[in-house]
Amino acid sequence: MNSQFSILNSQTPRVALKVDCDTLEGTLEGVPRLLEIFAARSIRATFYFTLGPDRSGVAIRRVLTQRGFLAKMIRSRAPSLYGWRTMLYGTLLPAPRIGARAAEVLHAAARAGHDTGVHGWDHVGWHDRLTRMSREGIAREYGAAHAEYLRIFGVPARSSAAPGWAADARSLEVESERSLLHTSDTRGGAPFFPKAGERTLPTLEIPTTLPTLDETLAWPSLRDDAAQRARFRGAVRGTEVHTIHAEVEGRSKSALFEQILDDWRADGVAFPTLAELAREALAHRDRIPSRAVSWTRLPGRGGRVATGWPEAAG
């Protein structure tokens, strides 16, 4: 029996790679590097693109005002991970529109055979403000992102991943009004149908099950790359979903990411796409549980994330 995906039984250990692209620099520089890394290993992944304004520089405000976040920034060396230009967008530099500036890179990911989907419109605005947004505001944000995706690709997105894993019953309900194959908005546990009050929503949610590298880099127990590799190598039990960031694994941490991938390949790990996992789960629709979504905190991550399985998220 598989620990994370009780409805997805596989003899082979599997990791679905979910690539979140949060910033313009990450998309323009990190995605092409990741495409090379995946092509060299015949791995297919699922890319999620933030399509609206890159206001990452707003993070600077947090450095100045939040002691906890400053500590996290220093520990995870965010300036070297993300680059100073990205840190200034939306504050000292105007916020560029990612979809408009990076359309060629988005097409290149799709041409290389990867799945693609929507990672919100304004990444920083979404995870900072979701709980204070009206339902109309949520619909506007998703509407803008999906319209831009349609403009760039000529077809509607089939899946969506919430920026910063910020999701609640309202945002999941808004997404369920689109004909998506699945969402990937939450952390921890097996796929489920989210609940909005008494209602069970029709869109399958596939959580991220492993900690992310930008989190584990802030874990005091993992002091060097060897410790990071060992942690990820030992973490695959059955079928896992691993979120990486174009800004991190596609840039300053690409060599470490390649080592993690090669360790997994040596162990016989297979790399399905999220759409493949979704279709596999939906073939047994009656066995998929429905779960309410709540907020939780994870080691190494500033701010809260959504989970349907609080007992599995940490």
Q: CB 20 → Zn ion: shortest distance, Å?
A: 4
Q: Which is nearer to Zn ion, 14 or 119 (CB)?
A: 119
CB of 195 to Zn ion, least distance (A): 24
Query: Which lies closer to Zn ion via its Cβ, residue 182 or residue 195?
Result: 182
Which position has the token pair 């089939």? Answer: 158
Give me the phi and psi of 205, to 5 degrees please.
-110, 125
Q: Do 116 and 27 meet the contact criterion of CB atoms below 8 Å apart?
A: no
Nearest-approach distance from CB 55 to Zn ion, in angstroms:
13
Task: List the interface residues with Zn ion, window 159-178 (CB under 5 A).
Answer: 163
In angstroms, the CA 211 to CA 299 distance is 9
Nearer Cβ to Zn ion (7/247): 247
Query: What token pair was written down for 63?
Result: 């450095």
Site string for Zn ion, 112-151 (x = CB under 5 A): ----------------------------------------
Measured CA to CA, the distance from residue 2 to residue 175 in angstroms comes to: 29
For residues 229 and 283, give the distance between their C-alpha atoms in angstroms, rounded to a whole number: 34
22 forms part of the interface with Zn ion (CB under 5 A): yes
Task: Give the residue among 308, 300, 278, 296 at the shortest CA–CA distance from 212.
Answer: 300
| Window 50 to 89, contacts with Zn ion (CB under 5 A) | none
The correct pick among 5, 14, 20, 241 for binding Zn ion (CB under 5 A) is 20
∠ CA 202-18-253, nearest 5°, is 160
Using the contact rule CB under 5 A, the part of the chain among 13-21, 90-98, 187-195, 256-264 near Zn ion is 13-21
Contact 230, 64 (CB under 8 A): no
Rounded to 10 degrees, the C-alpha dihedral 3/308/265/22 comes to -170
Cα 150–chain centre separation: 20
For residue 101, the minimal CB distance to Zn ion (Å) is 17
Of 124 and 293, nearer to Zn ion (C-beta) is 124
CB nearer Zn ion, residue 20 or residue 185: 20
Q: Which is nearer to Zn ion, 195 or 301 (CB)?
A: 301
CB of 23 to Zn ion, least distance (A): 9
Residue appearing with tokens 């055979």: 113
Q: Which of residues 5 and 48 has its CB atom nearest to Zn ion in the complex?
A: 48
Return the range that interacts with Zn ion (CB under 5 A); candidates 59-67, 155-163, 192-200, 236-244. 155-163
Of 221, 299, 297, the C-alpha closest to 310 is 297
Question: Interface residues with Zn ion (CB under 5 A)?
Answer: 20, 22, 163
